[in-house]
Amino acid sequence: MSSIRKISILLIISISLILFFLGSSVYIYLSNYSYADFYKRLEARVSVAEKYHFETNQKDAQVLKNIREEHLELLSNEKEYILYCPNANSMKQLADTNSLPINFLELVYTQQFANYQKNDIFYHGKIRETPKGFYFIIVSAKNYYNTHHLILLKKVLFAGGLIAILVIIYFIFLFSKNFFEPINKIITKVNSISTDNIHLRLDEIKNTVEINRLTSTFNNLLNRIEIAIETNKNFISNASHEFGTPLTAIIGEADVALLKDRTPAEYKETLQKILKQSERLNKISQSLLFLAQIGYKDNKLNYTILRTDEIILQANEIMNQLVPKNNIKIDFELLPENPTKLKILGNKELLILAITNILTNACKYSSNKLVVVSLASTNNEIVMIFKDQGIGIPESEIPFIFEPFYRASNTAAYDGYGIGLPLTQNIIKIHKGELIISSVLHKGVTIQVKLPVATL
């Protein structure tokens, strides 16, 4: 049995027991109250009967009797008994003659007054002693409230409880459908995700904050796992390919140099070629290691509140040192009046590295033509736009440019390893941002970097 059914059954049983005990308590209380109240009514009638039979003259007795008939409603099957009993031995005959329970008369005789019930008939009686003997003053009647109203109450409580349980079952069904069903869908979807389709994500559900938080947590976890898996795959597949070229060159140069004796100048030339390939190999290995590690650093990075305009300016200073002939123009005309809309939560060094990578590519592939950097902001996100006038990217190749070591078909004349953009994208991803590229061939590339505004 599933957990959902167990919880639903437990809730139904618990609420049913609560309703049963509440209904039983109400019924028992009203039942006890009806008994006590009915006996008080009988007691009042016995008291009035005693007064107009024994304590008033004939005229006053008739007045009192009329008042009783006028103000005291006639009970169902109400009977009044004024029975003379000369001694205790006469009680049996008295009971038989008047169809009264002998046990009741004995109880009244012993206690001076008593209540009694036989089947549906209720009795109240008391003793009135006189010089000639004693009298039993008794009033009996059917308890209409007990025989009719309590039965109706029992039916109402039963029907109400049954309806309440059905309503509860309906709402529990709705609750399980709106709460547990999305969880089941999440479980099913998560179970269907593997390394072959790690790009899949859980869908958010409207009007369910807790479920959406759970979904968002899973999606963030999948993002980190995807980065790690893709990084490992790329590292393994590309490392062997990229390492192969410089290693082959190094081995080839060494083999050629060892075939015969060379002049010092030839050995120097060979060593310079080997050094060049070794430096290339070193750069590739360092880039690969950094690219592999960046996917794991999300929880280890030191995040602080940063201003994006300051990050752009610092990246521009670095570019002035790396590429002194650059033609970078920073456009801050769209800056918001509220400076808090420029602030993000991030790692300063990584974000400067990402922007520097973008600017380096823009300057390199445009041969230092104009590169415009713009900054804008909304209530929720900050947008940095980098626009160059370079060679552009073929439209069919744009989906592949974030793969490590991939280089567009029109970049053969430019140095590079195809690692800058994948590294930049990973940095933006771990900052919960988005990197969007659009391009027109021979006219340039436009890159948008969107980052969430920091919640202060």
Domains of the chain and CATH, by start: 3-148 (3.30.450), 213-294 (1.10.287.130), 304-452 (3.30.565.10)
What sections of 176-208 are H helices per DSSP? 181-192
292's tokens? 């592999």
SS3 436: strand
How much helix, strand and coil, in percent to the nearest 5, is found in the chain? 60, 15, 25
Question: What predicted TM-score, i.e. pTM, was given to this entire model?
Answer: 0.45
SS3 399: helix
The backbone torsions φ and ψ at residue 384, rounded to the nearest 5 degrees and listed phi first, read -110, 130
pLDDT of residue 71: 53
Rg (CA), the chain: 49
How many C-beta neighbours within 10 Å does residue 261 have? 8
What sections of 176-263 are H helices per DSSP? 181-192, 209-258
249 Cβ contact list (under 8 Å, min separation 6): 273, 277
Helices then strands, each counted (H, E), the chain: 12, 11
In contact, 374 and 448? CB cutoff 8 Å: no
**Amino acid at the residue 324:** P
In contact, 434 and 325? CB cutoff 8 Å: no
pLDDT of residue 240: 59
Strand partners, 139: 80, 124
- In 3D space, the residue among 243, 244, 272 whose CA is nearest the CA of residue 257 turns out to be 272
- In 3D space, the residue among 278, 377, 395, 270 whose CA is nearest the CA of residue 333 turns out to be 377
DSSP one-letter string for 287-328: HHHHHHHHTT-TTTS--EEEEHHHHHHHHHHHHHHH-TT--E
Burial 108-147 (b: 16+ CB within 10 A, else e): bbeeeebbbbeeebbbbbbbbeeeeebbbbbbbbbbebbe
pLDDT of residue 96: 85
440 Cβ contact list (under 8 Å, min separation 6): 392
- In 3D space, the residue among 61, 96, 69, 98 whose CA is nearest the CA of residue 83 turns out to be 98
- CA 444 – CA 73 distance, rounded (Å): 104
pLDDT of residue 372: 95
The tens place of each residue's pLDDT in the chain, 456 residues long, gives 456 666 667 777 777 778 777 777 776 766 667 778 778 888 888 887 777 777 666 555 565 566 665 556 677 788 888 888 888 788 888 888 888 888 888 888 888 888 888 887 889 898 888 777 788 888 888 877 666 666 777 777 778 878 888 888 777 777 766 666 777 777 787 788 777 777 777 777 665 677 778 788 888 888 777 776 766 665 565 555 556 656 777 888 888 878 888 888 888 888 888 887 787 677 667 656 665 566 555 456 678 999 999 999 999 998 888 888 899 999 988 888 888 889 999 888 888 888 988 999 999 999 999 999 999 998 899 999 999 999 999 988 888 888 777 788 888 888 777 778 888 888 898 888 999 999 999 899 999 999 999 886
